[in-house]
Chain A
Amino acid sequence: MKRSAGEKVFDAGNTVFMILLMCATLYPFLYVLFASLSDPALVSQHRGLLLWPEGFSIEAYRLVFDNPMVLVGYGNTLIYVIGGTVLNMILTSMAAYALSRKKVMLGKPIMMAIVFTMFFSGGLIPTYLLVGDLGLVDTRWSMILPTAISAWNLIIMRTSFQGIPDSLEESAKIDGANDFTIFFRIIIPLSLPVMAVITLFYAVGHWNQYFNALVYLRDRDLFPLQLVLREILIQNSTDEFMTGISGGERHMIGETIKYATIIVATIPILFLYPMLQRFFVKGVLIGSLKE
């Protein structure tokens, strides 16, 4: 089909806009990456866009990995991500399956009670007091239990389970399977894409979580990486990285330490991302279109 002049102008403009958008999205990360690998002295003199590392130094990364807080934070975050996601997935998938069955009398009221929590909640203070009363403040459980299920993810999974033909289940029942068997042998294997997606959502959520940690944790040994990052990036406390480095160099190297921490904290997601991407788009589509 022939394009009119107006369309050609539009297509060209659209392409330019898209390229600019991609640059605007990616460049901040590239800047941080280049700066983190640069020589601190050179990058502190540099003005304007960085298109390549200025000089080359991995000193900042060495200091980051020497810092016990970063390592402790990394370890804690791994515990929260793995423990939290496992708990999330067990509870969410079981509930989603149970609530996707139609002939269960209490199914509908339970679902309504869950959906209601998406629109109204006790709010920050009563939740905080409850977590305190349960004795969870300053324990690892406070990072896992209060967010054990996300209603949103539950709905996505339930919708997906509802799409599986009933006949499969009926024939399994005739063969003597109970609901647990059906769930593990039929539903889960048929739902791997949505399981992968929801796992990803939960895991990223735990990886990025800082607010609950800020509210519930006092003990620095329990801090997740994000709280450590907050101290370094936003409260600007890079000094503890630099015992034995003289005052003049401190400011310069402090900057590259920040960049290196951003990279270190973001790398796992950047690596997983391309592998999981086709899954999550599919999953969002599964979940969002129906209902």
Chain B
Amino acid sequence: MGKVITEKQKTDLLYKKRTYWYRLGKDLKRNRYIYAMVLPAVLYYAIFHYAPMYGLQIAFKEYSTTIGIWNSPWSGFEHFKDFFSGYYFWPLIRNTVLISLFELMFAFPAPIILALLLNEVRRLAFKRTIQTITYLPHFISVVVVVGMLVDFTARDGLINQLTAMFGFEPIAFMQEASWFRPIYIGSGIWQGIGWGSIIYLAAMANVNPQLYEAAKMDGAGRFKQAWHITIPGILPTIVILFILQMGSMMTVGYEKIILMYNPMTYETADVISTYVYRKGILEANFSYSAAVGLFNSVINFALLIGANILSRKGTGSSLW
């Protein structure tokens, strides 16, 4: 009796395996409306995201607009070699890594600190007001933000007027390479601190209130509660966001840098992605800048995977 069933299961299994396409056909038919709804999205991703991945081969070719991607002759790793041995390689790597590191050190923890402090604000109306106000810069365009920066940091701008009152000499901040990173990171914190704190506040709201009750029973004050309950409670969220940040480590905000920098600050401001923009879009060096861009993406991807593995082993939370 049992054997008969096993035989039947076997044939069922074989039947299922052999007929994946058959079942798919049935599924496509039964869920045709669902597939119709997702079709535009599939086309969009195929065209605007996967076709450029196909186009990445020009990094290994001598691309010419007239003959197209497919027909352009192969050049192997020439463009990569050019970039690695070129004058700009080390300065670009240094600037990219430094800006990213400073962001990790200062801009990443800022919303966490704000969320922890906001969590201690007892009056709800006050808390709401702070939140409403600090979210605001997130919605202001980067052009306006940089526009205000340029204006405030100008030689006769607001900041120099204020420092002049204390007897400081005026500084043309935007023309000084040494000021680029502080301005970039500082304004980034200004833009993102409030918005970034939302997710941590949400994570805090999800911490089990009984934990706080228990801690109070044991005589823990607010600082101990924050340290032993709140911070561990939001740690998974911190880790996830940290991994994501690692995954974009090498693509620092070129949209903002392109607006902020100028030949006088290239020394500290020029990063890989701005270089790709200049070489590729402005100077039409397509294959070369595609190679530089690919190098950048591969490093990002590797960093993301590395951070994910480390975090899964170390803390147990990971993206996948």
Contact = CB atoms under 8 A, between A and B. Distances in A.
Indicate whether A and B interact.
yes
Interface of A: 4, 6-7, 10-11, 14-15, 17-18, 21-22, 24-26, 28-29, 31-32, 47-49, 90-92, 94-95, 97-99, 101, 103-107, 110, 113-114, 117, 119-130, 134, 145-146, 148-149, 154, 178-180, 183, 204, 207-208, 210-211, 214-215, 226, 229-230, 232-234, 255, 258-259, 262, 265-266, 269-270, 273-274, 277, 281, 284-285, 288-289
A285 B132 contact: no
Nearest to B276: A124
Given A14-B121, A24-B190, A104-B34, 20 more contacts: A48-B162, A94-B40, A106-B24, A113-B45, A122-B51, A122-B53, A122-B55, A123-B297, A124-B273, A124-B280, A126-B54, A126-B56, A126-B293, A130-B47, A226-B141, A229-B144, A230-B147, A233-B144, A281-B131, A288-B198
Contacts of B48: 127, 130, 145-146, 148
B58 A31 contact: no
A25 B194 contact: yes
Interface of B: 23-24, 27, 31, 33-35, 37-38, 40-42, 44-45, 47-56, 58, 65, 69, 114, 117-118, 120-122, 126, 129-137, 139-144, 146-148, 150-152, 158, 161-162, 164-165, 190, 193-194, 198-199, 202-203, 206, 221-223, 247, 255, 258-259, 273, 276-277, 280-281, 286, 289-290, 293-294, 296-297, 300-301, 304
B37 A234 contact: no
B281 A124 contact: yes
29 contacts: A10-B223, A14-B120, A15-B126, A17-B117, A18-B130, A22-B129, A25-B190, A47-B161, A91-B41, A95-B38, A105-B31, A114-B41, A117-B45, A121-B297, A122-B55, A122-B56, A123-B293, A124-B289, A125-B280, A126-B52, A134-B47, A145-B44, A229-B144, A234-B146, A265-B144, A270-B136, A284-B198, A284-B199, A289-B203
A124 B293 contact: yes
B38 to A, nearest CB: 4
Contacts of A48: 158, 161-162, 165
Where chain A touches its partner, the secondary structure class is: helix
B27 A285 contact: no
A107 B296 CA distance: 31
Contacts, number: 254
Contact of B55 (A26, A130, A149, A289): A130
Nearest to A95: B41
Contacts of B133: 22, 25-26
Closest 8 CB pairs of A and B: A122-B52, A233-B147, A126-B55, A95-B41, A208-B141, A123-B293, A179-B33, A98-B38
Contacts of B202: 284-285, 288-289
Contact of B141 (A4, A117, A265): A265
A129 B70 CA distance: 13
B142 A208 contact: yes
A234 B198 contact: no
B196 to A, nearest CB: 11
Contact of B44 (A91, A129, A277): A91
Contacts of B122: 11
B293 A125 contact: yes
B154 to A, nearest CB: 10
B241 to A, nearest CB: 10
Nearest to A46: B161
Contacts of B190: 24-25
Contacts of A123: 52, 56, 276, 290, 293-294, 296-297
B49 A25 contact: no
Given A180-B37, A233-B146, A126 B276 contact: no
Given A18-B126, A105-B24, A125 B276 contact: yes
